[in-house]
Structures are given as C-alpha cells and as structure tokens.
Amino acid sequence: MIRGIDVSHWQGRIDWQAVAADDVRFVFIKAGSDHSAGGFSPDPWFERHMAGAAAAGIPIGIFVYSYARSVDAVSVGAEKVLDLLEPYRPLIRWPVAYDIEEDYQKALGKTVCTAMCNVFAAHMAAAGYVPMVYANLDWFTNYLNTDALTADIWLAHYTGTGGKTRYTGPWAVHQYSETGTVAGINGNVDLDVSRVDYGDAAEPEPDPTGPPDAAASWAADAWAAAYEKGVLDGMRPRDSVSRQELAVVLQRTGLI
C-alpha cells in the first residue's frame, strides 16, 4: 500500500521538501467547504499547499468538506469547486473527494446523502477528475448506500494501522490516524494508505524565473520576514504589485 497524508489550514505552514523526504507518496489537500444552501468557501491555505506539494513532487488529490443540506446545494458548490481547481488541473492526478460527516446531514436519510455524494461525483467525473467519497465507518455502515455510490471510497477508521479495519466493504484509501507525525509538519496530521496508485505527480513546466513560491536570492531574507510578519501572503513573489496591493502593504506596516 501507498503511504500518504491529508492537510488543510489546520496544518499551517508546511516544509513540503521534508514531507516528501519522509516517504509521503500522496497528499489530499483541502480545497474548501461547500455551504448548506449552496456556494463554496476556499480553504485559506489551499493555494500555498498546492504550490508547495507540487514543487516537492508529491502527487496531489483534493477534498471538499460538506455542509450541504440538499442535492441542489451540492451541485451549486461543485461547480464553484471546479472553477477553483481549473488552474491546477495538470497537478491533480489523484481523486477529488467529497467529505460528508456532519451529524445534521444524517437526518436527511441514506437516500439523500447518497444522492448528494453521487451528484458531486458526477460533476467531478464530467470534468475529468476521479471522484471519491470520504466518510467514517459509521457513515459508510449506516448512512450511505455504498452499493449505489458512483465514486471510490476513502474510509476514515482510526485503527492506528494502515489497512487494518473491520469495515467489510470495498475501499481505496484508508485514513487510519488523526494524530500522526510527519517530518515538515508541526503538530498532528492525518495519515492514510491507498490500495490504488492513481498516478505520479505531474511534471512541472520549466520556469526560467524559478519556482512561483520562491523569491530571488537577493530578496529571500526580506521576503521571508514579510511573510512571517503577515505583511505579505507568501504568494507570487516575482509578480508586479498593483497600486491597491501596495496600499494594503502600506497599511499593514502602519505607514498609512
């Protein structure tokens, strides 16, 4: 089986090169969350995690946390997810997963919850992604019709050992710990294993100016200091700055 992790804003800043050196073979990155009545909110660390994992050569999958209360809400949110993912399409070789686990969603019933997952899967498949559903043992046993799901299964069952679970149905990925440790990540991180090899990382296109998340050597110290102090967001170090962006920087530094 293949060793991997999943991350979101909870992990914060990650040393992706160290993660790759710790034999992490895939990562699921949180794109964000859909809304109860439709809509979508991106994870604040999505872009930075995508850039870091890609630069480290780690194969990337995606997950979206569900707050939806209807099939229609899922459909609206899924289209917004696709808009967010489009610039990263070449980097996403592993599945795009729908994470359903809220207690209030159980009251919708097994038929509706299964339909919600399948609608998300249909949107992802139509866009060329491999669809997946993430849920825990209780959900897959009692609140989803797994025979009717049209996506691969990502099972959350914290046994402490990858691949060891009492779940008897088919699964592709097993999240076996929420208190794992991996080099390059401060604090706990979810640990996963996969029975399926969905593919290697995309080969990055050559960039004569250097990687998009790295400042030039002469500016590296200043760039790091600006990021640590929250003056800059850590993205696009070599891009030009608009007047409105300059105004924000001046405000953050207390000059205006």
pLDDT at 208: 44
pLDDT at 68: 97
| Coil, strand or helix at 1 | coil
Over residues 50-65, the pLDDT tens digits come to 999 999 999 999 999 9
**99 has which bridge partners?**
65, 134
pLDDT at 34: 96
pLDDT at 238: 61
Write out the two tokens for 239. Answer: 């891009």
Write out the two tokens for 144. Answer: 């989803």
Phi, then psi, of 126 in degrees rounded to 5: -65, -30
pTM, rounded to two decimals: 0.79
pLDDT at 254: 73
pLDDT at 223: 72
Determine which helix (DSSP H) or strand (DSSP E) holds 221, and give its type and residue range. helix 220-228
Regions of the chain where pLDDT drops below 50:
206-212
Q: What is the DSSP letter of 65?
A: E
Q: Are 8 and 30 in contact (CB under 8 A)?
A: yes
pLDDT at 229: 77
pLDDT at 230: 75
Compute the distance between CA of residue 17 and CA of residue 14 in angstroms, rounded to an integer: 9
pLDDT at 226: 79
Class of domain 2-194: alpha beta
Task: Give domain limits for the chain.
Answer: 2-194, 217-252
pLDDT at 211: 46
**156 has which bridge partners?**
136, 175
pLDDT at 227: 74
Residue tagged 């250097």 (tokens): 210
Contacts 24+ apart (CB under 8 A), 174-180: 175/6, 175/134, 180/5
pLDDT at 219: 65
Write out the two tokens for 174. Answer: 């097993």
pLDDT at 231: 74
Report DSSP letters for 137-201, one per residue: HHHHHHTS-TTT--SEEEEE---SSTT--S--S--SEEEEEEEE--TT-SS-EEEEEESS---PP
Over residues 68-85, the pLDDT tens digits come to 999 999 999 999 999 999
